[in-house]
């Protein structure tokens, strides 16, 4: 009798503690994954949105959307799914910007153009190379940044996801929400355009 | 393709991207950390709450059905409104003309009755 009472009393407690343990383990894995990916995601968002604050907002939305919708998916699928959310947020941002841009045409001023200046200038460099090295690195960095920004959105995303992030073609297609053939086409064009602009870099 | 095998422009591009991602300032890193914790708090709470909605909806539907079932099984025979009880008598009174005359002369008959008792 005592045994059965103790079993009945222990079942809910064990169940709750198992749930909490599973949940905290999931949270730890998600935290590790997001910490690993967040800096590169921010860089992609800056290139896509053009401004640090907008990029931060996009990354935050992406993190929340990813955790809400895909945290129960296998861990191996997390990277393409996270970038799928980020890509979708960046595209939404562009759509909103286009709508705003139509109105701004009538009320254009200098402050608007200053907003579109390079957001990377706000990210300080902790390395301290010599002035000449700094100048060359800065020049190269500016050229690279300009070349990446000059790419159409889809080409830039294909390049960043496939070449920089290292996703395979199938995962890149998942992240971009398009076919593998489209990924190859976008990537080929992106590489061609970057090569033409950056070939002189050493 | 390894980085060493890549053309110089591509190596420089990827190196620049890596460096910019790695050298974020403390304020930006702190913001990223806050954002991540917030996303985990809200996201995991939200995904757990998602499963509560079907159960809550099911429980509400069961409750409503139970109440409807109980109400429809209540005994209705004994519960008749006073108007319904009184209605036939009123109707009869209205239809029978003599009864009305009797009521109108009720005071006269009461007086007559009193007189005969006194007498």
* Mean pLDDT computed over B63-84: 71
Nearest-CB residue to B36 (from A35, A72, A202): A35
- H or E element in which residue A99 lies: helix A78-104
In the numeric block, the tokens 């690195």 are attached to A137
pLDDT at residue A197 greater than cutoff 70: yes
Q: In the predicted model, is pLDDT for residue B24 greater than 70?
A: yes
Residue B18 makes CB contacts below 8 A (sequence gap 6+) with none
Q: How many Cβ atoms sit within 10 Å of the Cβ of residue B25?
A: 13
Residues of A in contact with B34 (CB under 8 A): none
Whether B40 and A199 lie within 8 Å, measured CB to CB: no
* Helix ranges (DSSP H) in B3-72: 8-22, 26-50, 52-72
Q: Looking at residues A81-107, what average pLDDT do you find?
A: 84
- Closest partner residue to B23 (CB to CB) among A66, A123, A191 is A123
CATH number of the structural domain A124-202: 1.10.10.10
CB contact under 8 A, A27 and B8: no
A169 contact partners, CB below 8 Å, separation of at least 6? A162, A180, A183, A184
Indicate yes or no: pTM above 0.80: no
Subunit contact A123:B9, Cβ cutoff 8 A: no
- Look up tokens 């699928």; give the residue: A77
Q: Which of A33-47, A102-116, A133-147, B15-29 bottoms out in mean pLDDT, i.e. has the lowest?
A: A102-116
Contact status, residue B44 vs residue A71, Cβ threshold 8 Å: yes
Facing residue for B23 by CB, picked from A64, A125, A198: A125
Q: What is the pLDDT of residue A15?
A: 56
Mean per-residue pLDDT for B13-27? 90
Q: Indicate whether B4 pLDDT > 80.
A: no
Provide the mean pLDDT of chain B: 77
- The residues spanned by each domain of chain A are 1-119, 124-202
C-alpha dist (Å) from residue A197 to A150, A202, B77 = 10, 13, 93
Lowest mean pLDDT among A117-121, A131-135, A148-152, B88-92: A117-121
φ/ψ region of A36 (left if φ > 0, alpha if ψ in -120 to 50, else beta) reads alpha
| Cα nearest neighbour of B19 on chain A | A125
Tell whether B48 lies on the interface with A, counting CB pairs under 8 A.
Answer: yes
List the one residue out of A26, A150, A25, A156 whose CA is nearest residue A83.
Answer: A156
Share of chain A above pLDDT 70, in %: 71
- Residue A194 pLDDT class (50, 70, 90 cuts): very high
Q: Tokens for A4, please give them.
A: 């059965």
3-state SS of A13-61 is: HHHHHHHHHHHHHHHHHHHHHHHHHHHHHHHHHHHHHCCHHHHHHHHHH
Cα distance between residue A15 and residue A20, in whole Å: 9
Note whether A102 contacts B: Cβ–Cβ < 8 A: no
Residues A124, B23: contact at Cβ < 8 Å?
yes
End-to-end CA distance of chain A: 81
What are the tens digits of pLDDT across the range A150-179? Answer: 999 999 999 999 999 999 999 999 999 999
């Amino acid at each position: 009798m005592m045994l059965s009472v103790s079993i009945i009393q222990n079942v809910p407690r064990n169940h709750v503690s198992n749930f909490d343990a599973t949940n905290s383990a999931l949270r730890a894995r998600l935290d590790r994954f997001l910490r690993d990916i967040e800096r590169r995601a921010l860089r992609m968002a800056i290139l896509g949105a053009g401004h640090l604050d907008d990029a931060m907002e996009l990354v935050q939305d992406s993190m929340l959307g990813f955790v809400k919708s895909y945290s129960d998916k296998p861990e191996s699928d997390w990277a393409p799914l996270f970038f799928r959310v980020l890509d979708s947020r960046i595209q939404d941002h562009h759509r909103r910007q286009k709508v705003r841009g139509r109105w701004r045409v009538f009320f254009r001023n200098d402050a608007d153009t200053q907003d579109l200046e390079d957001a990377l200038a706000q990210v300080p460099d902790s390395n301290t190379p010599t002035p000449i090295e700094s100048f060359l690195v800065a020049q190269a960095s500016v050229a690279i940044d300009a070349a990446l920004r000059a790419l159409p959105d889809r080409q830039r995303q294909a390049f960043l996801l496939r070449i920089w992030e290292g996703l395979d073609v199938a995962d890149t297609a998942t992240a971009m929400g398009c076919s593998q053939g489209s990924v190859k086409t976008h990537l080929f064009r992106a590489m061609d355009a970057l090569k033409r602009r950056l070939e002189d870099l050493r | 393709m390894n980085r060493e095998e890549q053309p110089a422009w591509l190596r420089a591009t990827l190196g620049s991207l890596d460096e910019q991602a790695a050298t974020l300032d403390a304020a930006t890193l702190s913001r990223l950390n806050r954002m991540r914790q917030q996303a985990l708090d809200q996201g995991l709470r939200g995904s757990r709450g998602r499963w509560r909605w079907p159960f809550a909806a099911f429980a509400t539907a069961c409750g409503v059905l139970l109440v409807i079932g109980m109400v429809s099984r209540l005994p209705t025979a004994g519960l008749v409104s006073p108007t319904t009880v009184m209605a036939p008598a009123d109707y009869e009174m209205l239809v029978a003309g003599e009864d009305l005359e009797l009521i109108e002369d009720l005071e006269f008959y009461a007086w007559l009755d009193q007189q005969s008792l006194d007498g």
